[in-house]
Amino acid sequence: TGRTEQSLFCTTASFPGCVFSVSGDLLVLTVATQETDGFRRFLRSAKHFNYTIKVLGRGETWRGGDYMSPPGGGQKVRLLKSALEDIQDENRVILFVDSYDVIFSSGPRELLKKFQQAKHRVVFSAETLIWPDRHLEDKHPHVREGKRFLGAGGFIGYAPNLKKMLSDWSGADSDSDQLHFTKIYINPEKRKSINITLDNKCRLFQNLHGALDEVVLKFEDGRVRARNVLYDTLPVIIHGNGPTKLQINYLGNYIPNLWTFETGCTICNENLRPLSGLQESEYPVVVIGIFIQQPTPFVTVFFERLLNLKYPKNRLQLFIYNQESHHEPHVRTFLEYHESEYQGVKLIGPEEDIDPVTSRNIGFDMCRDNIDCEYFFSVDVDVVLKNEDTLRILIELNKPFIAPMMTKPGLLWTNFWGALSADGYYARSEDYVDIVQGHRVGLWNVPYISHIFLTKADALRTDLKDPDLFESATLDPDMAFCSKVRNKGVFMFVTNVHTYGRVLSTENYQTNHLHNDLWQVFENPVEWEERYIHENYSKVLKDGFIETPCPDVYWFPVFTDVACKHLIEEMEHFGQWSGGGNTDNRIQGGYENVPTIDIHMNQVGYEKEWQKFLLDYAAPVTEKMYPGYYTRAQFDLAFVVRYKPDEQPALRPHHDASTFTINIALNQVGIDYQGGGCRFLRYNCSVNAPRRGWALMHPGRLTHYHEGLPTVQGVRYIVVSFVDP
């Protein structure tokens, strides 16, 4: 502990008795019996400013209580008293602070200067609230301005004075350090003899308990500090004492210089675990927990994206919990084709009647009990994993608990909360909108994460080993889980450095159709478009990716193969095809001049969704190709037509009862059927090889007299819309 100590940063390997130094007369003593995320944060801030740190209590069991239930802290006093016995230099200045909830916001030079300006031999941090004995309030000296009560979480003084202050300590580890120091301070003789004062205006120390409204972040010249706006001071040491752990976590996302407007994130590339260059057999084993707890759209797509993760499947084990009978075919199909690709699979189906909380614990145990498992990757089935590198990125960030930021398109909703209300529910942090919108990019310690996260197996086996992680008398299971994780001292990080994906809306998902995802055009329009709209559709408007096979007839891609397949199967599943006669009670007047074998969209409850499709994807093309014409995509009729050689192979020449008609081919000529097509008689022009998913758009009345050419083999399906302004 002399002035010539060499610099040594306290890493995991060097944690026993660790010391690092460059700062001369100042020595920082702290107590840490465990290496927690908060302790690592403390050390990082100390290293940033080159403080001399010595850690006390290594290897001891903590018996000093906790901040919620006094008394406690006596163990710290015992350890400090013992450490001071080895310091003989009378000019040595000792700073004693907590570590798990403390960060430095400036360096030793400023701290020593402010200490000297206090003109006392010992300076304690000050608080607005008295604790743990309110009956001692009147015994505290009055101050003209500032905080009146002593805080034991931080004090600075010369070694001889501190020794004198601790000389009569003989308490138990569970006794109150705060009460011990308070009684010394309120004793006028002892206060004068030791020469103690309080840092009333938070020039050295900022205790957050009772002072949250006083403290703001100060960004200036590439630095971040905490500013006390009540006293206009810049405290050197920030202490999240008492129930202010969330606020110190928030401040610790920035101080000291973890994120600035000039540099962005400065810690995003620290302590990484790179996977590049590893052989497949060297990749960490990960258990992926997949949780299906309610009817959810696009489950098939979820499993497709799972397959596309860029990670060796023989290093992945799957735990699948499915509570919904509706999704059994989706799970079964996935496992039928791909189970053998993974290292192992455990499935819990609806017939086992296991509740969701128990399923989470079973999933954790699958990782805990496997000595080779290094990570548990929890993913709810309503997560859309767009980024195929998500798992690799999270592992490389090397945090005990981390989540990728997920959003809902067009909303400020995400899978994390920036703050909590007093009753433990959602509250918006000051930086939440900037993080969600990507104006601040980095790693963020947050109080709540849901839907998707990666946690280290070591954390599950130690800090997070309790079986009641999801249980609470007042909180939902997800909130209870996050509360337990926080209380165990495990930081929950969310990263928005990359774009990872989104979370689906499940509120209005119905399961009464064959392909229920077709109905998701309102609730999940982005996912619906990716699933059902042709990949080249965007080129139609942007690049003129459109053909004119006949005069005023436009041909462009609009549907994916999946959309075509689902529409056909949905109609065949419904099965109530018209008879093809002129009498048709489904239409106004009950008479069809040019009948087809068809099913109308309103028969399957798809008229609103179909109008949305026409408005979003057909109307823009109409307005581009027929300048000056604007439509609200109101359709008189929309229906799927079936042509079969032995049923109705063709359609006689006719005009459509529409301003314009959209005709989309749903299957493939030459594969699904032979023949077919559309001929425009006025121009003697035919489209003989309609492409699956492509739309023919043409005027309906007056000019484009047309016929459906014979289907000679197989079955041909088209979907037709008669559209008016």
CA atoms of 1 and 21, how far apart (whole Å): 9
Which entry of 225, 227, 368, 716 is annotated as an active-site residue? 716
DSSP result, 576-627? ------SB-TTSTTSB-SS--SEEEGGGGT-HHHHHHHIIIIIHHHHHHHST
CA atoms of 271 and 253, how far apart (whole Å): 16
What per-residue confidence (pLDDT) applies to 278? 96
What per-residue confidence (pLDDT) applies to 63? 87
What per-residue confidence (pLDDT) applies to 13? 39
The amino acid present at 503, given as its one-letter code, is: V
Cβ proximity of 586 and 600 under 8 Å: yes
CA atoms of 512 and 50, how far apart (whole Å): 65
Q: 624: which 2 tokens?
A: 């581009």
2: confidence class by pLDDT, cuts 50, 70, 90: very low
Domain 516-723, CATH homologous superfamily name and number: q2cbj1_9rhob like domain (2.60.120.620)
Domain ranges of the chain: 26-261, 269-503, 516-723
> What is the length of the chain?
725
Q: What is the pTM of this model?
A: 0.92
Residue listed under structure tokens 């067009």: 410
Task: Convert the pLDDT of each residue in 661-713 to its tens digit.
Answer: 999 999 999 999 999 999 999 999 999 888 999 999 999 988 999 999 999 99
Task: Convert the pLDDT of each residue in 547-600 to its tens digit.
Answer: 999 999 999 999 999 999 999 999 999 999 998 888 777 777 777 778 899 999
DSSP H helices in 377-466: 390-397, 432-436, 457-461
232: confidence class by pLDDT, cuts 50, 70, 90: very high
Nearest residue to 149 via CA among 121, 183, 174, 115: 183
Cβ proximity of 178 and 152 under 8 Å: yes
pLDDT value at 90 more than 80: yes
pLDDT value at 22 more than 60: no
Nearest residue to 224 via CA among 48, 437, 448: 48
Q: Which residues contact 283 (CB under 8 A, 6 or more apart)?
A: 275, 311, 312, 315
Proportion of the chain above pLDDT 90, given as a percent: 86
Mean pLDDT for all residues in the chain:
93
Query: Catalytic annotation on 148?
Result: no
pLDDT value at 25 more than 50: yes
Domain 26-261 matches domain 516-723 at the CATH topology level: no
What per-residue confidence (pLDDT) applies to 616? 94
Which CATH class for the 26-261 domain? alpha beta
On the 0-12 / 13-18 / 19+ scale of CB atoms within 10 A, 125 is buried
Proportion of the chain above pLDDT 70, given as a percent: 95
Q: What is the CATH number of domain 269-503?
A: 3.90.550.10
Nearest residue to 602 via CA among 611, 590, 593, 589: 611
What per-residue confidence (pLDDT) applies to 582? 84
Element (H, E) at 264: strand 264-265
Strand partners, 556: 695
Evaluated on CA atoms 187, 192, 198, 200, the torsion sign reads positive
Strand partners, 27: 94
What per-residue confidence (pLDDT) applies to 494? 98
65: confidence class by pLDDT, cuts 50, 70, 90: confident
